[in-house]
Chain A
Amino acid sequence: MAHDTVLAAGFADPARDAARAFRLCLNAMARPGTLQDVAPIAAPAPLSAAAATVLLTLADSTTPLFIGTSHDTPEVRAWIAFHTGAPLVDRAQAVFAVGSWAALGPTEAFAQGTAEYPDRSTTLIVERSALTPANARLTGPGIQHAHELRLPDPAAFQANAALFPLGVDFYFTAGTQLAALPRTTKVEAL
């Protein structure tokens, strides 16, 4: 195992780097579809720097995590255990999930929140090969006119948005690029 990748990587200055990374996560979620560039960090393949940054920023021992088969390697597990301590769980128990779109599977399998607590739903970190060129037009809160993004399956996001205020929320990651799609965003295929 690439021991160095597991132990050495992470935020060099944890408090300040996490603050900077969170600002990107916040901007991404507040402005759906906009692309944010994270600072490069070493993470074990196939985990992208952007996905690793989201996990370092938000996951810890209190946030059960589902790893899709695409990313379920000993190196990724060891890195997550060392840097976040997040317990690994099945889809339904997950606060966060990471993997390719195919490996994460239908989003209905994840927690959708409840009518009284719609926040109790999973945030999916979907690893992508690229976030462009766009195939979907996004409108809704956070978007002045319209944003565009490359989505794996626009119809799935329409179904998710129809569940509002329930539903899951998404980060899309590719290399050092990051974008988000909350349940409020209306998606039209381009």
Chain B
Amino acid sequence: MTDQAYNFAYLDEATKRMIRRALLKGLAIPGYQVPFASREMPMPYGWGTGGVQVTAACLTPEDTLKVIDQGADDTTNAVSIRKFFERTADVATTEATAEATVIQTRHRIPEVPLTEGQILVYQVPIPEPLRFLEPRESETRKMHALSEYGLMHVKLYEDIARHGAIATSYAYPVQVEGHYVMDPSPIPKFDNPKLGDNAAIQLFGAGREQRIYALPPYTRVVSLDFEDHPFEPTKADHSCDLCGAGDTYLDEVITDDQGSRMFVCSDTNYCVTRQAEAEAGAAQ
């Protein structure tokens, strides 16, 4: 049931138009952070207000929504956001990645390749990839304007000098269509290769920082690296202990106080589906 006290998908129409215009400019300038007048949402900043506003501006009554946090549909914040849209937009929801038309995510890209009918909405905490190198917005904006990314390369190179490897494992910076350097949100770098050449539309919302950016489908996205230190997507060197998958991103679960560990798929829907398929196969 839609909550009649609020407009469809919560936001008023003027706010949605403002966000929609920002989204379109984001698509027209891939990887560029479009400022938008983020609104105060009924959930705290830092808990997905940017993603929620983008989703609210995109949802149609016919959509099927999936919400994940850390790859899982049942994490508390994912549950909370999914309930919010069930209540305010009365949309169908699903846990099955393939059935969803809009997927809001925090920190993961689903394992199943996305398709042309899908929109992936990322919750972004710090949209500025240069923020920790230069805290000033006035300065980073100039760097983007001039495509001056030397500072980022210096940082990555210092990592190599110090650790022998690039010491960034999530929110690993990418360059979009050879121009803007972009923060992919805190996804593990394992997911970075899925950013580029993706069939789905990818939208990024940072509520507190008031920025929206986007990747159209089939956009060229390159993880920053060096010839002698090429980018490497990494995961735990195990297979999933539940479904046996050897090519998925894994959570490490501590199972007792003796140091025992299990490794399980972070994408719970993918894992559950594989387990069900295996059971069905065994039953036949």
Q: Show the binding face of A for B, using Cβ within 8 Å.
A: 14-16, 18-20, 22-23, 25-27, 29-32, 57-60, 62-63, 95, 114-119, 121, 123, 141-144, 164-165, 169, 182-184
Contacts and interface: CB of A to CB of B under 8 A. Distances in A.
A95 B18 CA distance: 12
B219 A16 contact: no
A146 to B, nearest CB: 11
Main secondary structure of the interface of B (DSSP, over half): mixed
Contacts of A29: 24, 27-28, 216
B141 interface: yes
Contacts of B144: 116
B59 A19 contact: yes
A164 B218 contact: no
A115 B14 contact: no
Nearest to B179: A165
Interface of B: 7-9, 13-14, 16-18, 20-30, 32, 34-35, 57-62, 119, 141-142, 144-146, 177, 179-180, 199, 201, 214-220
Nearest to A171: B24
5 contacts: A15-B13, A20-B62, A31-B216, A58-B21, A164-B179
Nearest to B33: A119
Contact of A116 (B16, B30, B145): B145
B28 A184 contact: yes
Contacts of B30: 141, 184
B218 A119 contact: no
Contact of B29 (A32, A143, A184): A184
A16 to B, nearest CB: 5
A17 to B, nearest CB: 9
Of listed B22, B32, B179, B218, residue having the most chain A CB within 10 A = B218
A5 B273 CA distance: 53
Contacts of B218: 141-144
Contacts of B32: 118-119, 165
Contacts of A141: 30, 177, 215-216, 218-220
A157 B79 CA distance: 45
B20 A22 contact: yes
Contacts of A63: 21
A62 B18 contact: yes
B29 A165 contact: yes
A59 B24 CA distance: 13
Of listed B20, B145, B220, residue having the most chain A CB within 10 A = B20
Contacts of B217: 30-31, 142, 144
Contacts of A142: 27, 216-219
Contacts of A117: 35
B25 A119 contact: yes
10 closest Cβ pairs, A-B complex = A142-B216, A182-B28, A15-B8, A115-B145, A119-B25, A141-B219, A141-B216, A169-B28, A19-B60, A144-B218
A136 to B, nearest CB: 18
A26 B17 contact: no
Contact of A16 (B57, B61, B180, B201): B61
